[in-house]
Amino acid sequence: MKFVSLISSGIDSPVATYILSKKAKEFILLHADIRPFTDDREVENFIKIAKHLKKITSCKIKVFLIKHGTSLSEFKQNCNNRYTCVFCKRMLLRYAEKIAETEGADAIIMGDSLGQVASQTLQNISTIENSIKIPVLRPLIGLDKDDVVKIAKEINTYDLSILPSSGCEAVPNKPSTRARLDSILNEEKKINVDNLVKKAVEESQMLSI
């Protein structure tokens, strides 16, 4: 099987990718570059993680970098900022679905763990997943953070995942934890989602690692 794995520079998504590497023949590692809402270290740290995953798995790996900052800026300037995290994840899945269609991938992998952050409540997960049709696999969904950290340390991704960066500065002060689908659809009508997805995918870069 071939999977598109949404990889941040954090702890969870590399672990999710590693767990499913036992089922995959090939991975497309897709990282959303959210600059200007973070600094250059975010992408640099992701590349270090991607190189390590390539080393510790037996899968063929491709690495894609996609510019997500423009989409976030459009949403934050025109829409209710409480829904930023939900919109962000919906866009990531849309990018991943387009890449999956082009690359012939079977599913998307995410590092979500139920209730860990605002976008990972059951209501928000349902609203987020509505944005696409391809299957989404969440191998960490029932794990506590301590469980994920333990695995990360065992596979030596933990130290890479805690390297310094400025984090995501797009996160609102009070993110919605129960975003209704009709509410987010109304917000998305204020911007041209299809054009944002098309532009981001067309300008995505395949990195050599």
Per residue in 57-102, pLDDT tens? 989 999 999 999 999 999 999 999 999 999 999 999 999 999 999 9
pTM score? 0.96
pLDDT, tens digit, 9 for 90 and up, residues 19-39: 999 999 999 999 999 999 999
CA nearest to 71, candidates 89, 83, 96, 88: 88
Dist. CA 111–CA 131, nearest whole Å: 17
Dist. CA 29–CA 50, nearest whole Å: 7
pLDDT, tens digit, 9 for 90 and up, residues 145-179: 999 999 999 999 999 999 999 999 999 999 999 99
In Å, the largest CA–CA distance within the chain is 45
Tokens of 121: 């409540």
* DSSP classification of residue 208: P
User: What class does CATH assign to 2-207?
Assistant: alpha beta
* DSSP classification of residue 25: S
